[in-house]
A and B are shown apart, each in its own frame.
Chain A
């Protein structure tokens, strides 16, 4: 699904990712943990193609294509989704309208037929219900006046409607209370299948109790310093990231 080789990413001339290798197979869920400033969010933005995140070396193959060749919206249409740590507000733009415009833009780019508003509303309502979100949110402007938790759940609604091949969740758990966290995890678990992959960026082991990862990676200073199964996450929770220094020394 995703094959990253020797990836280097610079932001404002400063190298943040310094030779990262990562392979995520179809249906796998990988967790990426690591201390602040280790480059976790940068990785997410670089994969999504955000301006200012300059790939200086390496390659990324996504679903058989060279991901780095594609524009941001082409990556989305190809099946890449990034749930933002801080979802953006778009005043005056109705949430339902936004989501449908996005879905149809992607479908159009893939040569698929556009979804009519009835079919669309039905899907969205189901997703909202599953995430215990009020339908009134559809009529509100995108993320405007949403609480932190609502914004994060709204990202999962988008994820569920857009049905990507690979979803990167950037600290989707931060700022969520335990009930909201469970809802988000359930939402993600419902979407897991043998073809859809996930990269879950998180600070805390907590989320991984609900989203069982196939692999856990520790990012440190722009590289993957350690990989393992879910027990690695538990160890980090107990011992913190201090072992990284000793491992490197």
Chain B
């Protein structure tokens, strides 16, 4: 490699620090999608028959569907027969504890800043680490078990807690819901399962780290979180992938169930590989996330920081079924180069005196396109529903685009719905002001963007807020000038 080429490589590496590949022997099912493949995935996981039946029902339904075309995205055709739907690092037996996990895997997560082994674990945060299609380990399981909390991989939950999985799986996002959720239902491989028993406040933060590694492989994980009456949990999710010229598909489903007075806080820092500066490569991120405030006085809060992926299509939503239930959505979505994001939320008010709050911050740079799409629906019987939406866009440079698509549907005259939206450009005057005080241009942009995102960052758990801020700075490198 010539010296300049190497410098360029290093520069790119420095921008996307998670772009490395772990050379590990893996077993995968062949490319393509059919009943046989699905049966194979199910068999590999030693699943009960009902699970396979559910997958096949989803698959048959999916075959009748067509992909969504309403988003403001330039969607490429995806050849679903070319994707590998299952890839797992080869290991003789499933490791019984984290000590048995392949050191290469542990090293990978170390490098990503998510140490799994005992000595270096993040204090106060339990981690489930998912590598391609399988969970490689979950920390602090014993401590959590003592509190009655179940935190394990989805595959493990199917084995150990089939009654819970069977009761709640698909109860928030039915397999028919949409094209990508349906595909996920047919082929999902792993993910995390959380169960917080009645009246329990989860003693630590729970988090899942998703890593795509293998080539031509899609990641289809499912997360299910159940909070029984009076339970509380804060859950974090992080994701990265190697840099590749080919696009890779990520289609996840997350279901949250909050029962009476339960509280679920779900935070995401999404940093999938965004593609290079010419728009080559990157992850296609089609995700369905939905929370069901199933009973009275429950609360679900989504916070997301989206900096990665070539395409993001994602609308974490709340169904406010219980009376006085509350939903929140805090979002920072940053797009640079040729990235496209169409993201937002849905707040469905069904119960009485329900409330929702939406704070969305979109930052566009380069030639990217960034859209907010949000639905606030108030049902006929939802007396006294309230919503507040604030939707701000910040443009950096002149070749990017920011769009806002709010949908408001109210069938109840007592509803109070407020919507505020602003679009601004990072001002030359702001940049000059910062620079005249000694900050260089990149520091100035980072500072202004950080200020713009303040309301969302303060919703993130401390260590995630720091990471999110650093991530924005890296993602914005070279955005100005």
Contacts and interface: CB of A to CB of B under 8 A. Distances in A.
Interface of A: 48-52, 71-73, 75-77, 81-82, 84, 87-88, 90-93, 98-99, 101-103, 105-106, 109, 141-142, 158, 162
B433 interface: yes
Contacts of A90: 430, 433-434, 447-448, 451
Contacts of A81: 436
Given A76-B438, A88-B427, A162-B437, A51 B432 contact: yes
A101 B450 CA distance: 13
B440 A105 contact: yes
B49 interface: no
Given A73-B435, A84-B433, A101-B447, A91 B452 contact: yes
17 contacts: A48-B436, A73-B438, A76-B435, A76-B438, A82-B436, A90-B430, A90-B433, A91-B451, A91-B452, A92-B450, A92-B451, A92-B455, A98-B434, A101-B447, A102-B434, A102-B438, A105-B437
A77 B451 contact: no
A60 B268 CA distance: 52
A103 B438 contact: yes
Chain B residues touching A, range: 20 to 34
Nearest to A158: B437
A167 B364 CA distance: 36
A98 B72 CA distance: 37
B433 A88 contact: yes
A88 B438 contact: no
A140 to B, nearest CB: 12
A87 B440 CA distance: 18
Contact of A162 (B433, B438, B455): B438
Contacts of B452: 91-92
Contacts of B448: 90, 93
Given A88-B429, A88-B430, A92-B454, A72 B435 contact: yes
A51 B427 CA distance: 12
Q: Which among B429, B439, B448, B454 has the highest number of chain A CB atoms within 10 Å?
A: B439
B433 A87 contact: yes
B438 A106 contact: yes
Interface string B220-236: 00000000000000000
Contacts of A73: 435-436, 438-441
Contacts of B429: 88
Interface in B408-461: 427-430, 432-441, 443, 447-448, 450-455
Q: Which among B430, B437, B451 has the highest number of chain A CB atoms within 10 Å?
A: B437
A137 B108 CA distance: 45
B451 to A, nearest CB: 3
B346 to A, nearest CB: 27
